[in-house]
Amino acid sequence: MDSSRTPLQAAAEKGDMTLLERLRALGANTNEPPARMAGVTALQAASIKGYYGLVKRLLDLRADPNASGSGYQGRTALEGAAEHGRLDVVQLLLNSGVETCGNGRRQYVRAIQFAGRRGHPIAVKLLKSHRPWTEADQELLEDETLLDPDQTPEGIAKRRRKIDGRQVQATDDDETRECEDGDDETSDDKARKDDAEEPNLNRLPASTLEETRVVLRTDDETPGLPGDAIWAEAYENWSSEFPWVME
């Protein structure tokens, strides 16, 4: 990718006002667009470096404060000044009418984010005091593509497809877990159904169980029946699990 500078852009980046004026006299374009990768316009370069006088001069020469940054790793003039804590330049750009709504909303929110991440809370406060914060600002703030290095339309679209794919995968995983949970519940229901098909001995009245136990205890000659042990176990379970029924 091209990250070169025009002579005018290089002069602005170095803060060389004399050279910049000479180049202007020779017909250099003040608003020459930035190179695709980490490029800068003359105004962006001066704003990032914090050259207040040069920024003012370029604005007088009708440099565009809203010019887009490089598609990859680029900054607008406002973003670059805020990111590096250039408070005087930020204020100058705001006073010059730099856009912070509509088409300028993205650079405004990005400028706030860059300033915050680089530890410039006063710059954040200055930017936020410029105008009221809106729902549209907040929605953009939560956009995962906001600070991506690749800000080209193609790059943003690609990133959003990846985000959408991740969200779809997360949804599928959630649905899979729900299905698995549903299967577990179905198995439990089936187990309960199977249990229900067996004789529910615990539902028999306690009096019946007690009468059976009495017979088994008193009549030694009564032959044992195959179900005696089951009856006895049912009685023990009933009386231990529901003692209040036996009262």
pLDDT for 198 beyond 60: no
pLDDT for 42 beyond 70: yes
Average pLDDT, the chain: 82
* Exposed/middle/buried for residue 110 (C-beta within 10 Å: 0-12, 13-18, 19+): buried
Residue 185: predicted pLDDT: 55
- Rounded CA separation 245/206 (Å): 8
Q: Return the domain boundaries, the chain.
A: 7-155, 198-247
Nearest-CA neighbor of 87 among 142, 58, 129? 129
pLDDT for 199 beyond 80: no
Higher pLDDT, 85 or 203: 85
**What one-letter code names the amino acid at 144?**
E
pLDDT of 112-158, one tens digit each?
A: 999 999 999 999 999 999 999 999 999 999 999 999 999 999 999 99
Residue 166: predicted pLDDT: 75
pLDDT for 97 beyond 70: yes
Q: Dihedral of the CA atoms 60, 65, 68, 73 (nearest 10)?
A: 100
Residue 2: predicted pLDDT: 58
pLDDT mean over 40-58 = 98
Tell me if the pTM is above 0.75: no
* Domain 7-155, architecture per CATH: Alpha Horseshoe (1.25)
Please answer whether residues 49 and 10 qualify as being in contact, where contact means their C-beta atoms are separated by less than 8 angstroms. Answer: no
pLDDT for 59 beyond 60: yes
pLDDT mean over 174-193 = 57
Neighbours of 32 (CB within 10 A): 17
pLDDT of 60-91, one tens digit each?
A: 999 999 999 999 999 999 999 999 999 999 99
